[in-house]
Amino acid sequence: MDLFTPLTLGTLALRNRIVMAPMTRSRAGTDGLPTGIMVDYYRQRASAGLIISEGIAPSADGLGYCRTPGIYNQAQIDAWRSIIDAVHSEGGCMVAQIMHVGRVANALNKPAGSRTVAPSALRARGEMYTDQQGMLPFEQPLELPLEEIPRVIQEYRIATENSFAAGFDGVELHCTSGYLPAQFLCSGTNKRTDGYGGSAANRARFALDVLAAMASVDGAGRVGMRICPDNPFNDIQDDDPQRTFEYLLGEAGKLDLAYLHVMRYPKGRVDNVALGRRFFGDRLIGNESYILDEAQQAVAAGKLTAVSFGRNFIANPDLVERWQDGLELATFDLATLYTPGAEGYSSYPRARA
Ligand SMILES: Cc1cc2nc3c(=O)[nH]c(=O)nc-3n(C[C@H](O)[C@H](O)[C@H](O)COP(=O)(O)O)c2cc1C
């Protein structure tokens, strides 16, 4: 068994175990609309066993970064359909990463009338880029009233329905990196005194309710989850991440999800991969700074079921072929990582014509 061995995860059929990790590339249009160059970009990378899309907002409130896509209206669904059709026409498999940023936002990056919401009215320290004014502080969020939480959970269900209507093979809950589910999970960002705050069980309730809502659409076999316990990204911290994530995974493990996607770094107080293996050992996608040899060994030894690669896919649309045939990898240009247009995005050539 190695990275080139086909694999079934829930209802997802992967032709190899080289997964493209989710990467926000800021190539969408205004109001979260996917663009034509996104069709080219994803089509070029369809030989991955599975493509996990960039983070996609389930609602206008869920947008926070400039030029990022949504999946909450018909125009967006139609635009995504062109992307999925292109990936499928190349024999690929693709899931939508559903990402609600919560408080990690600036109003200039969001459609008019949308709000910035969080479990508690605590502003994240730090800044984010806006096209209009460069770097600006994160927005002060509104605390979600208890009676509004079911509506936010339903946004994830509708985003899942919309993803399937567009043709995505599955959906992944983005449950790390300081975004909304992580804001609920972690004690530093969740000061609620109702059923969604306090104990680990209460803080995990939001993510578990969301997973159940996503699984209600067409079964848990089309739903995955991404975690990185003790990841401080976007000003997030938890008093006891081991306990929080043990609880979350213990409950999520009962749902028969397609997979768990675990980032091993930054290394905090938790051994993320070991924790993931305890609950999802037979369907665990590992990530973060893997190179080919190490990934091959982890899969051969049964430590991981598959491995996802982010940065390696940026300048190597044909990463699978390059590794299969021992070809050299290209390096990407940092300057065009998030800039508009095809340059440094869909412009990277294959090794062989
Ligand atoms: C440009 C860029 C954008 C990213 N955007 C996302 C994202 O939208 N969602 C997410 O879960 N991770 C995101 N990540 C993290 C990657 O999925 C991945 O965890 C990271 O690149 C480490 O994997 P690698 O060492 O194979 O690159 C992003 C990473 C990069 C480099």
Q: How confident is the model at residue 40 (pLDDT cuts 50, 70, 90)?
A: very high
Tokens of 242: 């081991």
Q: Residues of the chain with pLDDT > 90: what percent?
A: 98
Q: Which residue has the tokens 């997973």?
A: 211
Q: Is 181 in the pocket of ligand 1 (CB under 6 A)?
A: no
Q: Mean pLDDT, the chain, as a whole number? A: 98
Answer yes or no: 179 catalytic. Answer: yes
Q: How confident is the model at residue 47 (pLDDT cuts 50, 70, 90)?
A: very high
CB crowding 35-47: b at 16 or more within 10 Å, else e: bebbbbbbbbbbb
**What is the residue with the minimal CA distance to atom 14 of ligand 1?**
23
Tokens of 72: 């909450």
C-alpha closest to that of 10 among 288, 261, 213, 320: 261
Per-residue pLDDT tens over the stretch 189-229 = 999 999 999 999 999 999 999 999 999 999 999 999 999 99
Q: What is the pLDDT of residue 226?
A: 98
Kindly give the distance from the C-alpha atom of residue 193 to the centroid of ligand 1, in angstroms, as a whole number: 33
Burial of 150: CB neighbours in 10 Å, binned 0-12, 13-18, 19+: exposed
DSSP string, 165-233: HHT-SEEEEE--TTSHHHHHHSTTT----STTSSSHHHHHHHHHHHHHHHHHHH-GGGEEEEE-TT--T
Taking the C-alpha atoms of residue 105 and residue 243, their distance in angstroms, rounded to an integer, is: 28
Per-residue pLDDT tens over the stretch 155-198 = 999 999 999 999 999 999 999 999 999 999 999 999 999 999 99
Kindly give the distance from the C-alpha atom of residue 52 to the centroid of ligand 1, in angstroms, as a whole number: 10
Q: Residue 253 above 90 pLDDT?
A: yes
**The one catalytic residue among 72, 156, 179, 345:** 179
Kindly give the distance from the C-alpha atom of residue 287 to the centroid of ligand 1, in angstroms, as a whole number: 9
Q: What is the pLDDT of residue 30?
A: 84
Q: What is the pLDDT of residue 87?
A: 99
Per-residue pLDDT tens over the stretch 139-160 = 999 999 999 999 999 999 999 9
Q: Residue 353 above 90 pLDDT?
A: no
- Ligand 1 pocket test, pick from 23, 63, 236 with the greatest ligand atom count within 8 Å of Cβ, gives 23
Kindly give the distance from the C-alpha atom of residue 195 to the centroid of ligand 1, in angstroms, as a whole number: 32
Q: Is 348 in the pocket of ligand 1 (CB under 6 A)?
A: no
- Ligand 1 pocket test, pick from 17, 19, 24 with the greatest ligand atom count within 8 Å of Cβ, gives 24
